[in-house]
Amino acid sequence: FPEHSVVVTGQPRYDIIQKLKKELDRKVICAEYGLNPNKKIILYVTQPARDRFYLSRDVFLAFKNYPDCQVILKPHPRESDYDKYESIAKELGLNLHIIPKDLFKLLFLCDVLVQKDSTVGIEAMLFEKQVICATMIYIDISETRDLFLDGDCRVAPTVESLKIHLDEVLCGKNRKKYL
């Protein structure tokens, strides 16, 4: 194409993020969802993969080490079987808030995002949030592979490594490396 006929614009979905970062209010959103604005928030986003409940069990085991944090699960829009996540959390004694909407509000609220291999990690980084990729199960998604290889986000191939990364983020250790 001739240079004058192409305009590079970026991803329009992300244009709103800078505005939201200035306008959203943590206390208001926490009240809307019944959360305590003074407690740290771990956001876990899922994907409709076959291994999602196995991965979630491992992730929830790690989350149990942070009883003073609030855990939000944001299911993928194609998921509707939230009761299985609730059942796993209840079995493990984890207090879980399932919020199936308002991804950008949840990203604004959270202190750390835990995911498997979603482009939500990129969105979280635009909100200047820490991202941990729980890779207990094999992953190979081209959109996120570079984030791992470049060291832009943390990678947790085991429950123990997820706990270490959560300690670093939630306790303020080694944070700048990944921002």
DSSP-derived secondary structure for the chain: --GGG------GGGTTHHHHHHH--HHHHHHHHT--TTS-EEEEE----TTHHHHHHHHHHHHTT-TTSEEEEE--TT---HHHHHHHHHHHT--EEE--S-HHHHHHH-SEEEESS-THHHHHHHTT-EEEEE-SS----HHHHHHHHTTSSEEESSHHHHHHHHHHHHTTSS-GGG-
pLDDT band at 92 (very low <50, low <70, confident <90, very high): very high
Task: Give yes or no for residue 59 having a pLDDT over 70.
Answer: yes
109-148 pLDDT per residue, tens:
999 999 988 889 999 999 999 999 887 664 555 555 555 5
pLDDT value of residue 177: 52
Task: Give yes or no for residue 103 having a pLDDT over 80.
Answer: yes
CB atoms within 10 A of CB 43: 25
pLDDT value of residue 179: 46
Taking Cα atoms as reference points, which of 53, 155, 65, 91 lies closest to residue 73? Answer: 53
Taking Cα atoms as reference points, which of 136, 132, 97, 137 lies closest to residue 115? Answer: 132
pLDDT band at 168 (very low <50, low <70, confident <90, very high): confident
pLDDT band at 96 (very low <50, low <70, confident <90, very high): very high
Task: Give yes or no for residue 35 having a pLDDT over 70.
Answer: yes
16-34 pLDDT per residue, tens:
999 999 999 999 999 999 9
